[in-house]
Amino acid sequence: MAGNGETNGVAREEEGQKRVGVLALQGDFREHAEILRGLGVEPVEVRAVEDLEGLAGIIVPGGESTTIGKMMVSSGLLDGIRSYYYKGGPVWGTCAGMVLAASATTGPRQPLLGLMNALVERNGFGRQVHSFEADLEVDGFEEPFTGVFIRAPFFEDVGPGVEVLSKVGDRVVAARGENILVTAFHPELTDDVRFHEYFLREVCSI
Ligand code: GLN
């Protein structure tokens, strides 16, 4: 009864699915998987298009967005994740994942998923400070969230359909659309699981 191999496409809440994917081509996917497990969700390491079947959501982790992008092209996952998203599949991009989620970059051409109407500045904080922590005010969170930024991007501009959740100065560092969330920082590198809970509850509806 537990099997759902025949599920074609995106899992629906009523099917009781609690499997959430973590793109596992490169980067810090293991940390996300561990937190998901702690929250009672089964993490699925996604390396091929077939792995997307029946997932209640997918996290695109931090790492190197150019490397992850190239590997997504060669594995077919660039189109696979786009298709998953456009069928209503929930996506969360952290750091490199936020770069990949954007529709355009200020930098050199690189493969992007282009799911979010936004212009991203890759390594936006990079030239000033390589990595830093900041206590962020986040829309919908009662207490500030400590963001760990590592060669982090930011959204310079966002278009219609993008709701800004947090900023550092005038730089957008967390945002969401109907079935997408992005964070420029790394919630998986802290003990604070509120962003993972937010993704599961507000974006995946599980
Ligand atoms: N600057 C990196 C990139 O563009 C992202 C860094 C990270 O994910 N920690 O891919």
Could you give the residue numbers annotated as active site?
Answer: 95, 186, 188
pLDDT of residue 153: 97
Q: Give the distance (Å) from ligand 1 centre to CA of residue 27.
A: 9
Cβ–ligand 1 distance for 166 under 6 Å, the answer: no
Q: Name the region of 130 (left: φ>0; alpha: ψ -120 to 50; beta: rest).
A: alpha
CB 165 within 8 A of CB 155: no
Q: Residue 79 Cα, ligand 1 centroid: separation in angstroms?
A: 21
Strand partners, 44: 21
**0.85 cut: is pTM over it?**
yes
CA–CA dist 97, 112 (Å, integer):
10
Three-state secondary structure readout of 113-172: CCCEEEEEECCCCCCCCCEEEEEECCCCCCCCEEEEEECCCEEEEECCCCEEEEEECCEE
In order along its 206 residues, the chain shows pLDDT tens digits of 344 444 445 554 445 559 999 999 999 999 999 999 999 999 999 999 999 999 999 999 999 999 999 999 999 999 999 999 999 999 999 999 999 999 999 999 999 999 999 999 999 987 656 899 999 999 999 999 999 999 999 999 999 999 999 999 999 999 999 999 999 999 999 999 999 999 999 999 99
Decide: residue 3, CB within 10 A, 0-12 exposed, 13-18 middle, 19+ buried.
Answer: exposed
Q: What b-and-e string marks burial along 94-109, b requiring 16 or more CB atoms within 10 Å of the CB?
A: bbbbbbbbbbebeeee
Q: Where are the domains of the chain?
A: 13-203
150 among the known binding-site residues?
yes
CA 81 and chain centroid, separation: 12
Task: Map tokens 């293991």 to a residue.
Answer: 30
* Closest residue by Cα to residue 132 from 114, 118, 151: 151
CATH number for domain 13-203, candidates 3.40.50.880, 3.90.650.10, 1.10.3720.10, 3.40.800.20: 3.40.50.880
Q: Is 126 annotated as a binding residue?
A: no
Whole-number pLDDT of residue 10: 55
Q: Name the pairing type of β-strands 163-168 and 171-177.
A: antiparallel
In this structure, the residue with its CA closest to atom 8 of ligand 1 is 62
Ligand 1 centre and the CA of 184: distance in Å?
Answer: 9
Rounded to the nearest 10 degrees, what angle do helices 77-86 and 65-75 cross at?
90
